[in-house]
Chain A
Amino acid sequence: MALDLVPIWTLILAIAVFMYVLLDGFDLGVGILFPFAPDEASRDLMMNSVAPIWDGNETWLVLGGIGLFAAFPIAFAIIMPAVYFPILVMLLGLLFRGVAFEFRPHAGSHKHYWNGAFFAGSLAATFAQGCVLGKYVRGFAVRDGQYVGSTLDWINPFVLAVGIGLVFGYMLLGATWLIMKTEGALQDWARGKARIALYGVLAFIAMVSIWTPQFEPSIAHRWFSWPNMLVLAPVPLITAALAWWVWRSLAGRQDFTPFIGAMGLFAMCYLGLGISLFPYVVPHAITLSDAAGAPQAQAFLLIGTLSLLPIIFMYVGWSYWVFRGKVRSDIGYH
């Protein structure tokens, strides 16, 4: 055995999941904000701002799912049945909001149904993803490499709280995306909503940070033992600084800063999560190396991933570049 591929696959999977959270995060967030928009013309603009890119964003979810399946199959086989219902709700939500993009312009007097489907689907998918995340942090009942809990184990106050927290999180990404992509009254409206979302996000970050060490001693030990406390101190400090920066930029007139700051907040939370759970891929039962697939399979897919991901970043970047700047109302194909 020449090379241990587990670290690089951990990194790739971490990147894929993070790309998904950021990218589909903002377009799901736009969906969550949808019914609160000032008027129908604003809703048209909001939808147009994500219409050309949303399915590319959702492709990261497929890549994350299949990446877990390929690189850590044992984790895939344990986690997926455990979160059977959150995954079901997420998929049904994504179905409704996905078709709303295409059906709404053709729906005539039934347009408001698809407005509702876009909102409800986005909200349900986000909440369900938050529940998956919450359940992930809580951990899974595992014996002999098999999931031995029930399909209802995820119903738990902490898990549901994380679900609500992620709704605020995606709302923040969506609102700051709209600040970047729109102007005038709609942009002012988005600034207001971003501020509300930011308060929600900060409240949930604080709550989860206090709550998690209560039920999971290993996480408490990781954060509060010496010298970890000193080494890890920058994580909460940078998060606090970013929060202040986003809050300031929402009060000012910057277009880009709020979105960049919001992405930074997500990055810090994600980093904190990684630090808390490493080296588990099925918290707190199975480590990354114990769940790894055969090296032959990991190596084969790695060749393609390392050569194709840079190309994907290039042309996905180009497609974002084509639709750069403030969203226009006249580029549809309809």
Chain B
Amino acid sequence: MEADPLFLSRLQFAFLIVFHFLLPAFTIGLATYIAVLEGVHLWTRNPVFLRISNFWIRIFAVSFGLGVVSGIVMPFQFGTNWSRYSEITSNIIAPLMGYEGLTAFFLEAAFLGVLLFGRKLVPPWAHFLSACLVAFGTLLSSFWILAANSWMHTPAGFELVNGIFIPTDWFAVIFNPSFLFRLMHTVTAVYLTTAFTVIGVAAYYLRGGRHVEESRVMLLMGIGLTTILVPLQLVLGDLHGINTLEHQPAKLAAMEGLWETGPGQPAVLFAIPDEQSESNHAEIAIPNLASWYLTHDSAGVVTGLKDFKPADRPPVVPVFVGFRVMVAMWAIMFLLTASAWYLKLKGRLFDSPRFLRACTWSIPVGYIAVTAGWVTTEAGRQPWTVQGLLRTADSVSPSLSGGDVIVSFVLYVIVYALIFGAGTFYLVRLARRGPRDTTEARDLRMGDRPARPMSAAIESEQ
């Protein structure tokens, strides 16, 4: 079989964006958390917040570095592998990415330097301001990149001239029909990812009886945030789903595993969708429920996949499975938050070993949820890069051979395995060491000012 540059380019893009996105999924929320900790410390002068902040800043530096370098790879993919897409959509997509660079990347990079290295060089308020601007930069970045991504799902504000997209109304381009739903859903998701990471790390120390003061603060702050965001995410997810029903009905049918159009659609809890026979095997479903939550009427009509030509249908299995994995992760988040409140009311929040162990084991839930959600929405857009207007098959660079993409893909996989493997190793080691070590090393360093740089880190290694 001839290697297919289209399929391989899709695989490469999916691989690169999934690994890249694991980092922003953590650092967007963490940047805000650090800014809050720095602000509370500036306000109350309570050193526990400074210790927590210093601890997370070290973790942030490593994660953000990984996020930056894996992010630089992304815009070049557009040119190298998707040159047709680039040429056809550049007038819409490129200015949005340009604004991301101008408003977010420089802000993040310049003030990150001050946040990481400048605590002794600038006044405390300037250091706090730097933390706020880094956090603000990460949110601006989400705004622009999700505007561009949403436009691919629900294009608006353009006309097609000689097969090229020309913008006619920038407000309509940016605030396209799915943008605000996607933005709110995604930002909430990444905040939850950070919250459950912080909760899980705090629970790990509490179980070992270490860093108790810091861990209690972290756990309380984390549960406080998830108490608001977990229920909110249910509402936002539902709104986003209804928006998908309106604008991308084929994706929604695949998410729900619905083949036939009709009223009173069931919510399919489990099934093995079969694209050949256009039906589900081993289906377990609750009658009428999907119509109820999608149309808010248990007899509402929802379109099934058979209403779309096979060539216009997304691949059903990844969309169907991705959606269920995402919802399952939400259920775990809900159970953890509810358990936390139950234990809090009984006064046992900090000393239930089972709950603390569950929290630590649940650190991955946010990352799994955002990845599954990403697979659902992006695979659900197929076979289009711009929904209904530009096919993925017409987007790939014509000059590429399958062999070219095999070489690049294999190299990316090897390099990412090395870099993400090492990164995970160092992050886990930093997290295991915990906050107090930082301040001890810092005090030591303040005292005798060793000549060697970074000696605090090196000393604590030895």
Task: Give the interface of A toward B (CB within 8 A).
Answer: 41, 44-45, 48, 51-53, 55-56, 58-59, 61-63, 65-67, 69-70, 73-74, 76-82, 84-85, 87-88, 91-92, 94-96, 98-99, 101-103, 105-108, 146-151, 293-294, 296-297, 300-301, 304-305, 308-309, 312, 315-316, 318-319, 322-323, 328-334
Contact = CB atoms under 8 A, between A and B. Distances in A.
B70 A95 contact: yes
B411 interface: yes
A87 B76 contact: yes
Contacts of B461: 106, 108
A76 B398 CA distance: 14
A150 to B, nearest CB: 7
B415 A329 contact: no
A87 B72 contact: no
Interface stretch (B165-173, B177-185, B242-250, B273-281): B165-173
B65 interface: yes
Contact of B119 (A148, A151, A333): A333
A58 B68 contact: yes
A294 B160 CA distance: 12
Contacts of B269: none
B83 A80 contact: yes
A76 B78 CA distance: 9
Residue among A69, A96, A147, A309 with the highest chain B CB neighbour number at 10 A: A69
A168 B107 CA distance: 31
Interface in B68-127: 68-70, 72-73, 75-76, 78-81, 83-84, 86-87, 90-95, 97-99, 101-103, 105-107, 109-114, 116-122
Residue among A74, A77, A316 with the highest chain B CB neighbour number at 10 A: A77
A92 B119 CA distance: 32
B90 A322 contact: no
B150 interface: no
B116 A99 contact: no
A333 B113 contact: no
Contacts of A52: 113-114, 116-118
A45 B453 CA distance: 7
Given A76-B90, A80-B79, A322-B121, A44 B452 contact: yes
Contact of B398 (A56, A105, A146): A146
Nearest to B79: A80
B80 A84 contact: yes
B118 A77 contact: no
A53 to B, nearest CB: 6
A76 B70 CA distance: 21
A296 to B, nearest CB: 5
Nearest to A71: B94
Contacts of B103: 304, 308
Given A66-B101, A305-B98, A81 B76 contact: no
B419 interface: yes
Interface stretch (B282-290, B298-306, B317-325, B421-429): B421-429
B345 interface: no
A55 B60 CA distance: 14
Interface residues on B, range: 35 or more
Interface stretch (B219-227, B384-392, B400-408): B400-408
Contact of A103 (B70, B422, B449, B451): B422
Give the top 3 A-B pairs by smallest Cβ distance, nearest first.
A80-B79, A73-B90, A334-B457
A304 B98 contact: yes
Nearest to B168: A296
Given A80-B78, A98-B68, A332-B457, 20 more contacts: A44-B452, A73-B91, A76-B90, A77-B90, A80-B80, A81-B80, A99-B66, A102-B66, A103-B426, A106-B430, A146-B399, A147-B399, A294-B166, A297-B166, A312-B106, A315-B106, A315-B111, A322-B113, A331-B120, A331-B121
B453 A293 contact: no
B393 interface: no
Nearest to A297: B91
A149 B400 CA distance: 10
Given A73-B87, A99-B65, A332 B117 contact: yes
A330 B449 contact: yes
A98 B99 CA distance: 24
Contacts of A91: 72-73, 76
Given A63-B102, A334-B454, A319 B113 contact: yes
A315 B103 CA distance: 12
19 contacts: A51-B117, A52-B116, A58-B68, A65-B79, A69-B97, A69-B98, A76-B79, A84-B404, A99-B423, A108-B461, A151-B404, A296-B91, A301-B95, A315-B110, A319-B110, A322-B121, A323-B117, A329-B454, A332-B116
B205 to A, nearest CB: 19
B368 interface: no
A76 B94 CA distance: 11
Contact of A334 (B58, B69, B120, B400): B58
Given A58-B72, A304-B99, A333 B58 contact: yes
Given A95-B73, A151-B404, A334-B58, A69 B453 contact: no
A330 B445 contact: yes
Contacts of A149: 399
A195 B384 CA distance: 55
B397 interface: yes
B62 interface: yes
Contacts of A74: 87
A45 to B, nearest CB: 6
Given A80-B83, A146-B398, A296 B167 contact: yes
A148 B399 CA distance: 7
A88 to B, nearest CB: 5
Interface string B195-226: 00000000000000000000000000000000
A99 B422 contact: yes
A322 B114 contact: yes
Contact of A95 (B87, B97, B419, B445): B419
B94 A316 contact: no
Contacts of B228: none
B72 A94 contact: yes
Given A56-B109, A95-B415, A70 B454 contact: no
Interface string B421-462: 011001001100000000000000100011111101110011
A69 B90 contact: yes
Contact of A56 (B92, B113, B168, B399): B113
A63 B97 CA distance: 9
B332 interface: no
Nearest to A101: B65
A296 B157 CA distance: 12
Given A63-B101, A331-B118, A70 B79 contact: no
B455 to A, nearest CB: 8
